[in-house]
Amino acid sequence: MHSTDDSQPAVFCGIDWAEDHHDVALVDADGRLLAKRRITDDAAGLALLLDLLADYEAPDALLPIAIETSRGLLVACLRAAGRVVYCINPLAVARYRERFSVARAKSDHADAMTLANILRTDRAHHRPLPADTDQARAIAVLARAHQDAVWNRQQIANQLRSLLREFFPAANTLFQVKNIGLASPEARAVLLAAPTPTAAARLTRQQLRALLRRAGRQRNVEVWVERLRETFRSETMRQPKRLEEAFGRQTRALLLQLDAACRAADELAEATIEAFWAHPDAEIITSFPGLGELTGARVLAELGDDPERFADARSLKAYAGSAPITRASGRSHVVLHRRVKNNRLASTGYLWAFSSLRAPGARAHYDRRREAGDRHASALRNLFNRFLGCLHHCLKNRMPYDETIAFPIRTEVHLQAVA
């Protein structure tokens, strides 16, 4: 028999999540199965689950719940009901499963019991879902959706670039200009009107001028008209006529997808910015160099606004993947960068650190890391790690970023060197 203190729950709940149903298991402090149910993924199933939990809990001591996902209506309703929900990584569940079955047997009910037993034995080693406000969670939905839309836009643009290389390489060359790419309004408008070299060569100056103005271009219109006309009418290698027409149809299909992806990204960007500025942490986050409205929203989306989520700056840095990890065994001692991390936050951190290099303190820190032998990505990751420590301090103390405090000595040295 295991002795438990007053603060330790006597019953633990595990839920094996699926698309249309969920398996629920309740175990006591000794690991004995108290109850099991299969509930549907609807309001009736939620009511059955809450009634089952109520039968084994005291009014002032709600049962902790372990599940493998942090999303979905079931998790949202449980959190709204004040339940403490633990999201357990499926890889960790698989390792725990091997403790109870060396034969590697697997079933939905067994997985629910495994989740309940994880809380029973190792609850202290797992963290419940953060108590973020609905406002922060709404920003997370919008910021992640915008990030996905940007990635999708770039993926389609890469597909279009590869396709144009097959039969229309001049189009790639034309729009490889700073701030102008295949995803730009100008490129989409021109290529939609003339998706093949033959069609592009027939475009007149008046047609090109109208296409560019319709796409929103106001400056250097005539320069672009002459550049497009000269390139489209120059002698180049061509595919056979039928092949060129087929490639043109495929190009038009990709352009329609790209146009929709661009519009979706723009609309989500506006919604994200509007929601971000309504949050009280927005002013503090954007006070950091390199953080704008969208990158700041992404940082807030991944960190949340629960002040108790991260005990200290070290745990925040580990979560973001900026803190190094040490692997030591015998005489072997290796320090590596983390691969298991919040990939969305790590991607934003790279952009954050790179954009901050115009600030004297950040630039001095980056240059010092490069002189010490770090490569570009490693130096940016170290700078991101430094910024995260400052961000944790600023959010905790409700104060804006101050570069003279973040980089007190190196900022002065760098300014003197520049002068």
User: How is residue 136 written in tokens?
Assistant: 């922060």
* Contact of 346 with 321, CB cutoff 8 Å: yes
Task: Report the pLDDT averaged over residues 361-381.
Answer: 95
Radius of gyration of the chain (CA): 28
Task: Report the pLDDT averaged over residues 405-409.
Answer: 85
Q: Name the packing angle between helices 108-122 and 90-100 (round to 10°).
A: 90
- Give the per-residue pLDDT at 6: 46
- Give the per-residue pLDDT at 418: 53
Instruction: Report the DSSP beta bridge partners of residue 22.
Output: 17, 39
Q: ∠ CA(310), CA(313), CA(317), 5° rounding? A: 90
Band (pLDDT 50/70/90 cuts) for residue 410 is low
Band (pLDDT 50/70/90 cuts) for residue 7 is low
* Contact of 350 with 359, CB cutoff 8 Å: no
Task: Report the pLDDT averaged over residues 402-406.
Answer: 91
Question: Tens digits of per-residue pLDDT, 173-206?
Answer: 888 877 788 999 999 999 999 999 999 999 999 9
Average pLDDT of the chain, as a whole number: 90
Task: Report the pLDDT averaged over residues 375-400.
Answer: 95
Ranges 8-22, 144-158, 383-397: which has the least confidence: 8-22
Task: Report the pLDDT averaged over residues 262-274.
Answer: 96
* Contact of 262 with 216, CB cutoff 8 Å: no
Residue length of the chain: 419
Determine if the pTM surpasses 0.75.
Answer: yes
CA nearest to 161, candidates 153, 151, 150, 169: 169
Question: Tens digits of per-residue pLDDT, 48-79?
Answer: 999 999 999 877 788 999 999 988 899 999 99
**How much of the chain exceeds pLDDT 90, in percent?**
71
The 8-class DSSP code of residue 184 comes to: S
Q: Most distant CA pair in the chain: distance in Å?
A: 88
Ranges 170-184, 186-200, 218-232, 260-274: which has the least confidence: 170-184
Task: Report the pLDDT averaged over residues 292-310.
Answer: 94
**How much of the chain exceeds pLDDT 70, in percent?**
95
Band (pLDDT 50/70/90 cuts) for residue 274 is very high
- Give the per-residue pLDDT at 416: 55
* Contact of 279 with 136, CB cutoff 8 Å: yes
Task: Report the pLDDT averaged over residues 362-369.
Answer: 95
- Give the per-residue pLDDT at 5: 43
Band (pLDDT 50/70/90 cuts) for residue 4 is very low
Whole-angstrom CA distances from 272 to 139, 141, 319 are 6, 9, 23
Strands 21-28 and 33-40: antiparallel
